[in-house]
Amino acid sequence: MRPDEQSFYYESIFAGHMAEFIRYKRAQGLKYTAVPLSLRSFSRFIAAKGTGEMALSKNLIEEWCRLRANENKLTQRRRIVETTQFLKYLAEKGIPIYLPRTTRKPRSQQAFTPYIFSPDELHWFFQKCDQLTARAPSSMPTMLPLIFRVLYGCGLRISEVLNLKYSDVDLDAGHLVIRKAKFNKDRMVPLSESLLRLFHNYSATAHRSSTDNDEYFFAHKDSRPVKADNVYSWYRKVLWAVGISHGGRGNGPRLHDFRHTFSVYAMKSMTDNGMDIYCALPILSTYLGHASVSATGQYVRLTQDMFPEIVSKVSTIAAFVIPGGDMI
Q: What pLDDT digit, counting tens, does each position of 206-265 carry?
A: 876 656 778 899 999 888 899 999 999 999 999 999 999 887 766 779 999 999 999 889
Averaged pLDDT for residues 170-199: 89
Bond preceding residue 253 cis, omega within 30 of 0: yes
Separation of CA 234 from chain center: 20
pLDDT of 94-106, one tens digit each? 999 999 876 555 4
What does residue 65 show for φ and ψ, rounded to 5 degrees?
-85, -10
pLDDT of 70-92, one tens digit each? 888 888 999 999 999 999 999 99
The domain boundary, picked from 57, 92, 127, lies at: 92
> Pick the residue with more confidence: 271 or 182?
271
Instruction: Give first-to-last CA distance, the chain, whole Å.
Output: 58
- Residue 177 maps to a domain: yes
The domain boundary, picked from 52, 77, 92, lies at: 92
Residue 320, pLDDT above cutoff 50: no
Q: What CA dihedral angle connects 245, 251, 255 and 257, to 10 degrees?
A: -90
- The pLDDT of residue 325 is 40
Q: Are 160 and 226 in contact (CB under 8 A)?
A: no
Mean pLDDT value across the chain: 85
Does residue 167 sit in the same domain as residue 262?
no
Does residue 192 sit in the same domain as residue 269?
no
Helix (H, G, I), strand (E, B) or coil at 34: coil
- Residue 27 maps to a domain: yes
Length of the chain: 328
- For the entire predicted model, the pTM comes to 0.65
Q: Are 162 and 231 in contact (CB under 8 A)?
A: yes
Does residue 189 sit in the same domain as residue 266?
no
Does residue 235 sit in the same domain as residue 128?
yes
- Residue 110 maps to a domain: no
- Rounded percentage of the chain residues whose pLDDT exceeds 90: 54
DSSP 222: T
Q: Are 115 and 260 in contact (CB under 8 A)?
A: yes
- Residue 247 maps to a domain: no
pLDDT of 109-142, one tens digit each? 445 678 889 999 999 999 999 999 998 888 999 9
- The pLDDT of residue 216 is 92
Cα→Cα distances 68→35, 65, 72, Å: 19, 9, 8
Helix (H, G, I), strand (E, B) or coil at 32: coil
CATH, residue 177: 1.10.443.10
> Pick the residue with more confidence: 61 or 297?
61
Residues of the domain holding 77: 3-92
